[in-house]
Structure 1
Amino acid sequence: MTERARQIIAAARTLLETEGPEALTMRRLADSIGITAPSLYKHFPDKASVLTALAGEVLRETAETLEAAESAAPGSFPALATAYRAYALAHPHLYLLTTARPMDPTALPPGLQERAAAPLFRAVDGDQERARAAWAFAHGMVVLELGGRFPPGADLSAAWSAGIAAFARSAPSEASRASG
């Protein structure tokens, strides 16, 4: 990525994080870095490619966040879920941009999605379906929290703790094995 492309992505991130997704237009982006909109197209063919580059940044940061949590508490799903939630809540527009729209995985740096998922996969002893379920729990909770969809007065910490406890167990319970 060229220095100008990095500058464009940094400006796009600033617009998105400070003003929300509606503010992220090619014209606003060009204005924010002092170039013309057609000049942006020398670096990114369209807005979708800017969004994909931003998504790559978010996935890289998510991977780093989860790797740091795993390093501090190896094999701990609670540590990963806490770090995941903290990152998402600190960067709500970026998080939603990355997780709430279709994305061409081939447009991302090779191996990035796998890198971001690896700490979770290791925390659930390599059980792919359990990892997917755990991610769905964390993602769903974050999206509901960001959207203000919990009832007034809901104890989100208790809800997170209950979900984390369900996935932090080392093996599925007898009841879940019998029903599966």
Structure 2
Amino acid sequence: MSAVTERRERERAQRHQLIITAARELAEAEGWEAVTTRRLAERVEYSQPVLYSHFDGKDAIMRAVAVEGFGELAARLRNARLAAPEQPAQALHAVCRAYLEFATERPALYQAMFILPTDVKFAHAETPAPLRAGFDEFVSCFRSDNRRRELFAEVTWSALHGIAALTASGRIPPSGQAERLDLLVTQIAGTPVGR
């Protein structure tokens, strides 16, 4: 590969990332309704055709944002699990808390990942690796001799998503989140967890 080709590929990758970052920033500041290809083109100072050379449209941009978010979430869950004591219930509690904190701290990113329609496939052969890595952090919180540990992880993740979505929409108060989390972990892990 020539130096010129390498430079062009590097510049293309930088433009690609710039578009993703701009979409995230705009969504966090003004919501996903504000993210349009026209506004993104203005924000990154490239023409719309250049934007379309990277992404087919807003849905493709949102998918890229979601996949990037899954990578960030997986890293955060892993760090929480590794920092927790080795008892499964405490590791599960730490991972669940990290998940809910992520959803609260990055609402627009969480929407792209889990609320808004995308073509990202969950529990499928085509599931993006970062999403699978995040799910595996939940699985790792359950004993390896538990044949149903993936089911336990799936139910835990589903319950957390419900808590995150209901809290974000104001349907349940955020003040009860610690108690909800303790109840969930106690019921799933089978042992009480101290805060």
- The two structures have a TM-score, normalised by structure 2, of 0.79
- The two structures have a TM-score, normalised by structure 1, of 0.85
Matched, 1:137 2:159: yes
Matched, 1:78 2:89: no
Between the two proteins, what is the percent identity of the paired residues?
A: 29
Residue 104 to residue 157, structure 1, CA distance change in 2 (3 Å): closer
Matched, 1:31 2:39: no
Matched, 1:116 2:134: yes
Shift, 1:90, TM fit: 0.3
Matched, 1:90 2:105: yes
* Deviation larger for 9-18 or 156-165: 156-165
- The residue number in structure 1 matching 2:169 is 147
Q: Any gaps of 5 or more consecutive residues in structure 2?
A: 1-11
3-state SS, counterpart of residue 41 of structure 1: helix
Supply the RMSD in Å over aligned alpha carbons. Answer: 2.1
Matched, 1:17 2:28: yes
3-state SS, counterpart of residue 59 of structure 2: helix
Whole-angstrom distance in 1 between the partners of 2:22 and 2:79: 27
- The residue number in structure 2 matching 1:103 is 119
- The residue number in structure 2 matching 1:159 is 180
Whole-angstrom distance in 2 between the partners of 1:25 and 1:70: 37
Q: Any gaps of 5 or more consecutive residues in structure 1?
A: 171-180
- The residue number in structure 1 matching 2:70 is 59
Whole-angstrom distance in 2 between the partners of 1:125 and 1:42: 46
